[in-house]
Amino acid sequence: MKKISSSRQDLQALWWGIAFSLLFTGIIWGTGFALRAFPHLPKPANDPSWYYWKLPAPTIAAEVTAWGGYLLHQLFSWGVIWYAQTRRLHYSHTLHTVNKVALAGNALFILLHLLQSLLWYDGLAANVSVFSSQGSVIVLLVWVLLMENPRRGLFFGKKLPLQQRVIQFARKYHGYFFSWAIIYTFWYHPTENTPGHLVGFLYMFLLMLQSSLFFTRVHINPYWTFVQEILVLAHGTLVALMQANGLWPMFFFGFAAIFIITQMHGLRLKSWIKWGLTLLLLVGAIVVYSMRGVQRLWELVAIPLIDYPAVLVLFLLLGLIVWLTGWRRPRPKQQPAVQPAPDHLERQP
């Protein structure tokens, strides 16, 4: 096995971060049994916004610690992003000091949330709708589709002719929105150990790891970023199976369709592999829906019909901001000592 060079600090941090994420997911699994002592919210009739994992009667201590922990975590994350951008750092294989601060800070807040759940249980779910948490992650994934359009296209490798200034704006400021979506969702849930929660927390840990590695080469590695995109397929499918609502094929085939239509075209796969994966998905859909019935075929296109129009809506909203503010990407005053990433890959944190 090829040894990672000591100069590749970003790769070393990535692998250590993945190990930490797996380890801490295991800790949540082990400590989650203690949370069963807390009373949970009973399910009312016909309430699609119902969320089981919160106290029937919220406590002041739980609300103060959940919102306090979230706000401190959020301000910390935005602060390190702002600091990194104002220092005009450039992409490299070594960790900047601010990367080390971000990694350590996120690890500390992960630990604090675990302790907060064990002591007071409730997360942000006590005060806000579950749709706000789900919606934030959906917008994050749509934002990635928009940012990656210049590199891999949106439909079978074909790029939409979108104004580059808007794409550059999305890249420069995406870190602030992504940080909010990740940290808000992380503090939304108590650290329960159901399969859906565990996969979700692992997903959040990996996204925090990615957000801590800004201005390193691994941050823009297309294979690593793809892993984070495709994990939503596993998470969404698993949660639907756990809820036994019969909608798991919608999540599985919907996100798999986005992989076939868009994501796999950024991975430099050979044509025969692309055709093989496409055929595999089609065969799987035929088998499943021969049993579910043609009246359920809408499930195959539900998620793509939400995500792809949402890309255009997001582009128009960001374009409106760019137009109203007159924003233009600032140009560097001098040639950097380290060659920056190519423009089609470069992203600001």
Report the SS3 class of residue 158: strand
List pLDDT tens digits, range 3-48. 555 568 999 999 999 999 999 999 999 999 999 999 988 876 566 6
Query: Domain spans of the chain?
Result: 9-41+54-325
Tell me, what's the pLDDT at 212?
A: 95
Amino acid 232 reads V
C-alpha span between 171 and 186 (Å, rounded): 23
SS (H, E, C) 61-127: HHHHHHHHHHHHHHHHHHHHHHHHHHCCCCCECCCCHHHHHHHHHHHHHHHHHHHHHHHHCCCHHHC
Does the global pTM surpass 0.85? yes
Weakly modelled stretches of the chain, pLDDT under 70? 1-7, 44-48, 330-349
What is residue 239's predicted lDDT score, i.e. its pLDDT?
83
Q: What is the per-residue pLDDT for 173?
A: 93
Looking at residue 336, what is its pLDDT?
44
